[in-house]
Amino acid sequence: MKVVLPDSSELELPAGATGLDAAHAIGPKLAEQAILLRSNGHVQDLRLPLEDGQRIQILTTRDTHDPDALYVLRHSAAHLLAEAVRRLYPGTKIAIGPPIENGFYYDFDFPEPIGEDALERIEEEIRKELAEGRSWDRREVSAEEAKRFFAEQGEDYKVELVGTADGPISFYSQGDFTDLCRGPHLQDSGPIKAIKLTGLAGAYWRGDEKNTQLTRIYGTAFFSQADLDTYLEQVEEARRRDHRRLGVQLDLFHLADNAPGMPFWHPHGMVIWNTLEDLRRRENARRGYVEVKTPLLYDIETYVTSGHYENYEENMFFVQGHEDEKPLALKPMNCPGHMLLFGSRLRSYRDLPLRYAESSTLHRDERGGTLHGLLRVKHITQDDAHVFVTEEHIQPEIDAMIEFARDLYAMFDVTPRAELSTRPEKRLGTDAQWDHAEAALEQALKRHEMEYVISPGEGTFYGPKIDLHMTDALRRSWQMGTIQLDYQMPMRFGLTYMGADNEEHHPVVIHRALLGSLERFIGILVEHYGGAFPVWLAPVQVRVVPVGEAHREGVREVVETLRAAGIRAELDERDETVGKRIRDAEVQKISYVIVYGDRESLDSLAVRERGGAQSTKSLDELRDELLATLSAWQAGADRSSPPEHSSGEVQPTGDEVQ
């Protein structure tokens, strides 16, 4: 048989050859360093047989920053953790231990609880395993053999996993430890040069709070100590930038048990919120979107029609009214309301494209254990839009959305990259419709020469999507916006428009959110900027600190002049020392601080900029400098315009905007 290498050359191998056999055929050095096989976007254990014509790439210990290489390294590290725990704590039952982003974890059922102080002991045991050396052997077994093996060891969780396993059942063994695992794994433990256990947490077996609570041990591993040291520095910096901590320090928001997963926004936080809302409205208006507002509650039949009830019921909040009234549900998405809005009157092809925009409160019943500050909440506000189009409008509208995203993210100094998510197993519509929709999105990404990856099976139940990602100041990846192409929902709601041929046609709808959840977006921005927001977004742009009582009258004119120009200025008249008030302004990351004493006047102000620079400016100079900065960002997207096929001057009628 033959396999195809990355340079498109062919390698001839005997039938049944494995990835490791292929590495040996290329060269002994490659075979020694090989850790994983990548084929057609998937990873494969080196021990597994290859297929005739299969395209392969062999990853090695040189691929130290490749996500798949780190994946297999950390997977094997998780098994070393399980072996160490079994050696140190006899009677401990093991559950699951997968690699995750930036590390791995393993869940255990300890005979007695352990604390954080146990991590150092376990870590030392893993180092002993590494010093001794470990290699992984793989073998396939029957379900009966696997159940018998784990039952004899008292491993109840493994027995249960065997009972629900799909496909071949395989064991991986290292030392005297054997685990139920699909793989892949390293050949041996040699590539694991640095490992660190990072924390403990509680985790319910299979994520069900009715089941036993297990102890989850988190860790990470790298190909070098230097890479681990860099990662730990990034973790510490992330801790300093944690939006939950900075949210309190900067007086932006707080979270409370009174309303789990629903933030309380403080005045300074609302400045950021409203600035983003103003930005959203301004940029939407420039591109021909019209603002709408739809109800928060709908009857169950609406969600049955949209498909949300079948596919999203467990994440919805339901409300029972009076006895003689039917139950309602809080909307988790805006799309059903926009479908009803479109269907509220007869439509012509001349009305299209019709671009509805709405920033509305949505409710999603996320489990308490998954909530995380502003990044995962129950109560979200999305910069939503639904664009109803004809087939001819699809490509220009998606082009316009991609350009919109680039312009918008540039205001935050980030460049988007894309993930094309294709048809999931549970979906609406025909394969032909999905083929067409996926091709339309991929063609748009190629036209714009946008970096993208394909995520098979990650689309929504009604259509494929482009998810837009950014990389923050700590080089972490975040999903931001989404563009989704949907043929299904307009048909399910019976939406039509009268075409130029005097026949009725179903519109296509493009779901679009660019900032995504405003709560989540603000949480990301807090961490991206470390709380030091650009001037245009800063809750307080200028703080004025009078030195003494005699200077308070003079500084009021400074504050009033700046406020009259539209600059967010505030006066700090607290009975604290000047040094304390300056220090507080630094902690709160105020952009400009004016210290006003005997030597200051409207023509000569002592100005401290965030970061330490100090200068003397007149009030007029400072005001003009700030206004120039604000004008620059405000003009940032002035070049934007609606797609050429539309004037953008959609005139909403009374029943379209309520």
Spatial distance between the Cα atoms of 566 and 112, rounded to a whole number of angstroms: 62
| 21, 63, 384, 407: the active-site residue | 384
Spatial distance between the Cα atoms of 570 and 14, rounded to a whole number of angstroms: 78
Whether the upstream peptide bond of residue 111 has omega within 30° of 0, thus cis, is no
Where are the strands (E) in 364-432, listed by range? 379-389, 417-421
DSSP 8-class letter at 329: E
Neighbours of 619 (CB within 10 A): 17
| 47, 465, 469, 520: the active-site residue | 465
- Is 42 a known active-site residue? no
Where are the strands (E) in 40-176, listed by range? 42-44, 57-60, 93-94, 99-100, 103-109, 137-141, 169-174
Q: What is the 3-state secondary structure (H, E, C) of 257-288?
A: CCCCCCCEECHHHHHHHHHHHHHHHHHHHHCC
Whether the upstream peptide bond of residue 539 has omega within 30° of 0, thus cis, is no
Distance of CA 469 to the CA centre of its chain: 8
Which amino acid type is present at position 30?
Answer: L
**Assigned token pair, 380:** 């979200």
| 33, 174, 382, 484: the active-site residue | 382
| 45, 93, 181, 335: the active-site residue | 335
| 393, 511, 543, 608: the active-site residue | 511
Count the residues in the chain.
658
Whether the upstream peptide bond of residue 184 has omega within 30° of 0, thus cis, is yes
| 331, 364, 506, 581: the active-site residue | 364
**Assigned token pair, 508:** 């296509």
Query: Long-range contacts made by residues 628-635, C-beta under 8 angstroms, separation at least 24?
Result: 629/535, 629/536, 630/535, 630/536, 630/566, 630/567, 633/411, 633/534, 633/536, 634/536
- Is 257 a known active-site residue? no
Neighbours of 618 (CB within 10 A): 13
- Is 384 a known active-site residue? yes
Strands 177-180, 169-174: parallel, antiparallel or unpaired by DSSP?
antiparallel
- Is 66 a known active-site residue? no
Where are the strands (E) in 23-165, listed by range? 34-39, 42-44, 57-60, 93-94, 99-100, 103-109, 137-141
- C-alpha torsion 384→386→387→390, nearest 10: 160
- Is 181 a known active-site residue? no
Residues 6+ apart with CB under 8 A from 153: none
Nearest one of 134, 194, 118 to 108, comparing CA atoms: 118
Q: Dihedral of CA 11/12/15/20: which sign? A: negative
- Is 335 a known active-site residue? yes
- Is 465 a known active-site residue? yes
Residues 6+ apart with CB under 8 A from 610: 532, 586, 589, 590, 591, 592
Strands 542-546, 569-571: parallel, antiparallel or unpaired by DSSP?
parallel
> Which phi-psi region, left, alpha or beta, contains residue 183 (left: φ > 0; alpha: ψ -120 to 50)?
left
Which amino acid type is present at position 31?
Answer: A
Spatial distance between the Cα atoms of 73 and 134, rounded to a whole number of angstroms: 13
Whether the upstream peptide bond of residue 353 has omega within 30° of 0, thus cis, is yes
β-pair partners for 217: 106, 200
Task: Dump the DSSP string for 518-542.
Answer: HHHHHHHHHHHHTT---TTT-S-SE
**Assigned token pair, 362:** 């949505």
Nearest one of 369, 358, 367 to 333, comparing CA atoms: 358
3 state DSSP class of 72? helix
Q: Which residues are catalytic?
A: 335, 364, 382, 384, 386, 465, 511
